[in-house]
Amino acid sequence: MPEKQNTPHFKKIKLERTPCNGVCPVYRLEIYADGKVKYEGDYYVEKQGRFSWKLDPANIKKLQNAITKANYFELLEKEPENMATCMAGCNTTITMDDGRKRTIKNYHGDDKYPRSLKSFENAIDRYSGVLSYVGKRIDLLS
């Protein structure tokens, strides 16, 4: 009989899009392992206020795979070589069921983290279902 692998899974994903000196969407998400999503939209989003919904298991699995693919817990911060002011940022916190927890504050005006982190942040947006709440301004985040 094959041995069952105990691969850690996320318990909670938090994502916060921070303001810029312009019309960048500002909102927060919390995604739980059972599929529950909590959203709070502040500025430059289609739907302001608090909303919640439930994700299907396929999107939960996609989020889990995105965490693994991004090597979120192994991403290294470096001294930025380039800096721009007045840009938006994205703060993420991942809590795993094995007790690991990490928060990354990714200011999009510098290159302190690899580009793959921004791709991971955008994957959270795609798989969480938040795009219908944020609206067309999400294209500013790509």
Query: Does the pLDDT at position 50 exceed 90?
Result: yes
H/E segment holding residue 121: helix 115-128
Q: Across the strands, what pairs with 41?
A: 27, 49
Q: At residue 112, what are phi and psi to the nearest 5 degrees?
A: -70, -30
Measured from the Cβ of residue 96, the count of other Cβ atoms closer than 10 Å reads 18
- Whether the per-residue pLDDT at 5 is higher than 60: the answer is no
Other Cβ atoms less than 10 A from the Cβ of 25: the count is: 25
Average pLDDT, the chain: 91
All domains of the chain in start order, with CATH: 10-131 (3.30.1560.10)
pTM of the model: 0.90
